[in-house]
Structure 1
């Protein structure tokens, strides 16, 4: 499958021919979080036309990047081993793009899968290894996540539900934030100022754990 032919012969050119079409890497980004049904992919990419999503999925299958599998009487899409090799590429691109992020436009949203990959990108395992294990319940825009940090390990669950959040006492810190969370991750907004200004609302747990969060997840802008 060659969706676009640049007329050059090298690895970068070939890579762009496989995943360089619009929306392709965002589909890969969401599948790095886990297998998704067609409707879940469409919901996570609300501006993608249905015909483009179908085309990209077909192209990525033909390229050996994803596969289509039956699971519990539904069809899901998941990355192949070859497709999962794109993870460091996606994380590196996210770190690079983070440096150019300005304030969000009014129509821009934060999806659960996008926020999960942002956290993976910003995670500092060497810092986390020296901190106590911590569980964060975070609501950022449309994303509701349970974030477990244990030594150098990170586990992020989407939409954890009532049995995984503050009601059961699992989360050490539960908070709500808007797009300004990227300023906390970049270091442009100190955690105490984020709380004082209302950029972050602490729902449960010691407020000073937000400083631990900022140390654990950091990308210099």
Structure 2
């Protein structure tokens, strides 16, 4: 009688962390190393150059970032490509399969934000700030609130649309937005999550209808913290 052993093909040459067939175990092998999931987060809204990724991940060394990019590329999660002229620079981009992890990152972020240890005012990259909008929106209200909002950050621009599809984000500028915000991610959090208003010191500068801007801000809120019994 033949053995029931399952051959792993190319995977047999790769060292496995866990002797476990569960997809969760395999997922941890792909993204469980420090920085891996955050590298993916920085690519959710479009390709980035090496230096841009490194700038938005304070504390990561160039050597470690190179290793993580290589391992994610080997796993088929991201690809390297060169932008056409006149840019003509190498960038990293998520594959179609890599993009499928974005909802998982949002769900994980929503869960972790309920921890008393979560500090909403720690460093946050532009991509992380935009993902927080997708994560912390009120799903019961967003479908009836159709708006286009532009964010001009010091090193990045994003366009956020709300409505039947929830919150969608694309990297880039938009001249015909309903309202436009200017400021860094700290100002964004003070305005949107801290509810400190607009055009004040440390908050977002507003261009457009204040009523529309306030309606946008009202769609978002930090989640309630898990109680001590739940975390103990």
Q: Report TM bin, short chain.
A: 0.7 to 0.9
Q: How does 1:97-108 map to 2 (within 5 A)?
A: 97-100=112-115, 101-102=118-119, 104-105=121-122, 108=123
Q: How does 1:137-152 map to 2 (within 5 A)?
A: 137-138=150-151, 144-152=157-165
Is 1:120 aligned to 2:95, yes or no?
Answer: no
Q: Unaligned 5+ residue runs, structure 2?
A: 1-10, 225-232
Separation in structure 1 between the aligned mates of residue 90 and residue 199 of structure 2, nearest angstrom: 46
Is 1:213 aligned to 2:227, yes or no?
Answer: no
Superposed CA RMSD in Å reads 3.1
Is 1:136 aligned to 2:153, yes or no?
Answer: no
Separation in structure 1 between the aligned mates of residue 15 and residue 200 of structure 2, nearest angstrom: 48
Q: How does 1:190-209 map to 2 (within 5 A)?
A: 191=195, 193-194=196-197, 200-209=203-212
Shift of residue 12, structure 1, vs aligned partner: 1.7
Q: Deviations over 1:59-81 (max 9, x none)?
A: 11111111222331332222222
8 Å contact kept, 2:142–2:162: yes
Report the number of matched residues.
207
206 and 175 in structure 1: CA distance in 2 versus 1, 3 angstrom threshold = farther
Separation in structure 1 between the aligned mates of residue 184 and residue 209 of structure 2, nearest angstrom: 16
What's the secondary structure of 2:214's corresponding residue? helix
Separation in structure 2 between the aligned mates of residue 18 and residue 112 of structure 1, nearest angstrom: 24
Shift of residue 47, structure 1, vs aligned partner: 2.2
Separation in structure 2 between the aligned mates of residue 66 and residue 119 of structure 1, nearest angstrom: 24
Structure with larger Rg:
2
Is 1:76 aligned to 2:88, yes or no?
Answer: no
Specify the alignment match of 1:85 in structure 2.
100
Separation in structure 1 between the aligned mates of residue 180 and residue 35 of structure 2, nearest angstrom: 34
Specify the alignment match of 2:6 in structure 1.
none
What's the secondary structure of 1:149's corresponding residue? strand
Separation in structure 1 between the aligned mates of residue 51 and residue 153 of structure 2, nearest angstrom: 22
Q: Unaligned 5+ residue runs, structure 1?
A: none
Q: Structure 2 length as normaliser, TM-score?
A: 0.71
Separation in structure 2 between the aligned mates of residue 114 and residue 178 of structure 1, nearest angstrom: 9
Shift of residue 92, structure 1, vs aligned partner: 0.5
